[in-house]
């Protein structure tokens, strides 16, 4: 019985881990993407160059953790902007769901619809639970040239925005900006 359970767990683990690429490493170029935001506008990774980019993946609109994370970014938007950063959220939801979420919480940044999870997969942030897929709560801090400066694979939604701000200050001062 224990052998069968162990085999089942290994099989399930293999299925889940096979669904996403590796997480891009710090210093590598951020994977390119082209997705639609909540207003139906196309947003590309290339169009976001020239400033720091906080690209965050989140599991589901209007859930407690995702709402806390998004609202923290919203509440800290002035400081993030002052530090030269732009915020972009990505989920596997469709654009209308993202639009409702953004409207309900007055989110002043794009929420991109990655319906098939292709972009989340390229960032190693996709989980497939056989009947549904979702984005893992991962964040990538990308520099103005499009390179990954920092990855966040364990996110505390109550402190994440403050963590990003502290890292932006540190990274900006160490690069002489």
Of 48, 66, 70, 125, catalytic = 66
Query: Distance between CA 56 and CA 54 in Å, rounded?
Result: 6
The answer to whether the CB of 141 falls within 8 A of the CB of 171 is yes
The verdict on whether 71 is a catalytic residue reads: no
The pair of three-digit structure tokens given for residue 128, joined into one six-digit string: 């497939």
Active site residues: 66
């Amino acid at each position: 019985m224990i052998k069968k359970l162990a085999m089942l767990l290994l099989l399930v683990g293999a299925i889940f881990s096979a669904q996403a690429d590796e997480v891009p490493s710090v210093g590598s170029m951020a994977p390119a993407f082209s997705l639609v935001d909540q207003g139906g506008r196309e947003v590309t990774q290339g169009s976001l160059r020239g400033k720091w980019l906080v690209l965050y993946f989140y599991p589901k609109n209007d859930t407690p953790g995702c709402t806390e994370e998004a609202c923290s970014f919203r509440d800290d938007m002035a400081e993030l902007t002052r530090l030269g950063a732009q915020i972009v959220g990505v989920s596997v939801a469709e654009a209308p769901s993202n639009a409702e979420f953004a409207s309900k919480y007055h989110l002043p940044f794009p929420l991109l619809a990655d319906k098939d999870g292709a972009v989340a997969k390229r960032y190693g942030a996709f989980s497939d639970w056989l009947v549904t897929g979702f984005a893992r709560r991962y964040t990538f801090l990308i520099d103005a040239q499009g390179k990954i400066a920092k990855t966040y694979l364990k996110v505390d939604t109550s402190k994440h925005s403050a963590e990003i701000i502290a890292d932006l200050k540190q990274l900006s001062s160490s690069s002489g900006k």
